[in-house]
Amino acid sequence: MAVRPDRSVASGTIAWTQVRDEIRARGLRWTAQRRRILEVLEATRGHVTGSELVERCRERDPATTPSTVYRTLDVLEELGYLSHSHSAAGREEFHVMPEAEHAHLQCRVCGRTWELDADEAESVVDPVARSHGFAADLGHLTILGRCAVCVSAEAAEPRLPA
């Protein structure tokens, strides 16, 4: 799908004018709504759900429509500026401008999430690449389970059998 262009970018920040130019270069259009969404993304770090992004856009402009936001997020993902995965609850989790594609761990007990760096994610996905020739989308991968802390908490305070 999308090839992410090279970007000269300061630490953690994004050259958003470049997004605008790329949008125009593809025959897409630069609109007030898209500018607003990019402003919101610029002020965002880490992971956000779709509805959080809608909410933040509404703070800037109460007239914001969900469908417009989601459609723009689709476009940005297609262009490689975002990725999304699904949380344990099945909600969409967006990750803004990852410097490198990475996967996630999410604990179903305490809800915390961790990022897997590229090397680790690669080693996770390597077996299926070898045996099935399967090219995994690392950015979409969220592994659900229990973190080390919650596992040992469970061991310390065992449940009664029914």
Partner DNA sequence: CACGCTATCGCAACACGTAGCGATAAGAGG
Partner DNA sequence: CCTCTTATCGCTACGTGTTGCGATAGCGTG
| Shortest reach from residue 129's CB to DNA, in Å | 27
Single residue of 7, 30, 126, 152 touching DNA by CB under 7 A: 30
Q: Site mask, DNA, residues 40-79, x = CB under 7 A? A: ---------xxx-----------xxxxxx-xxx-xx----
CB 139 within 8 A of CB 145: no
C-alpha 49/C-alpha 55 separation (Å) is 10
The dihedrals phi and psi of 77, each to the nearest 5 degrees, come to: -70, -40
Show contacts with a copy of itself in window 72-111 (CB under 8 A): 86, 88, 90-92, 105, 107-108
- Residue among 89 and 149 whose Cβ is closer to DNA: 89
Query: Where do we find the tokens 């099945």?
Result: 90
The dihedrals phi and psi of 42, each to the nearest 5 degrees, come to: -60, -35
Angle, CA of 61, 99 and 56, to the nearest 5° = 15
DSSP tag of 139: G
| Shortest reach from residue 125's CB to DNA, in Å | 24
Q: Give yes or no for residue 5 binding a copy of itself (CB under 8 A).
A: yes
Binding residues for DNA, per CB under 7 A? 23-24, 27-34, 49-51, 63-68, 70-72, 74-75, 90-92
